[in-house]
Structure formats: structure tokens, C-alpha cells
Amino acid sequence: MGWADCGRDERGRRIGYAFAARCDQPGCYRRIDRGLSFVCGGMHGGAGKGCGGYFCSAHLDGDAICRACRRRSRREDACS
């Protein structure tokens, strides 16, 4: 099995680059797919460093992390 169809995420949505979607950022309606290029954390499910949501390039930073996860990471770093 390839990365086109990777099953379902925690919300029951089909994941993989074969599945058209919209950005998970509230108020954003950009078309994306649910492939690895758009997942927060760099791997389906978030791989421990992201939330596993799917976002357009405007809402993922260079480390493939969404805005909410970036803020959470900064708060955790400040508490260390």
C-alpha cells in the first residue's frame, strides 16, 4: 500500500494524498489533500510533535507545524 490511501485519522476522515480536503485552519477554505505535505507534525497522526491536522502552506511553518502547535511549543519552552 502506498501513501495515497493511509486509512482514517482520529476524526474518521480518509487520509492520504488521494483525498481532496480543505485546510483545517478555521476560516481557511484552501484546497489541499490529506497527504504528508499538508499534515501538522510531518506524519499522519502528528508523530508526537504536531496535532495531525491538515493545513495549507500558509498555515504550516517550515517545520510542518501549524500555528496552534507552534504557540503551544513556545509556551512549553518558556516553562522549561
Q: Count Cβ atoms below 10 Å from residue 24 Cβ, excluding itself.
A: 22
Domain boundaries, given as residue ranges, for the chain: 16-79
Report the predicted TM-score, pTM, of the whole model to 2 decimal places. Answer: 0.88
36-54 as b/e, with b when 16 or more CB fall inside 10 Å?
Answer: bebbbbbebebeeebbbbb
User: pLDDT tens across 16-58, in order?
Assistant: 999 999 999 999 999 999 999 999 999 998 877 899 999 999 9
Q: How far is CA 52 from CA 17, 20, 37, 58, 75, in A?
A: 14, 16, 12, 16, 19
Positive or negative: CA dihedral 48, 49, 55, 57 = negative
pLDDT at 24: 97
The C-alpha R_g of the chain, in whole angstroms, comes to 13
pLDDT surpassing 90 at residue 79: no
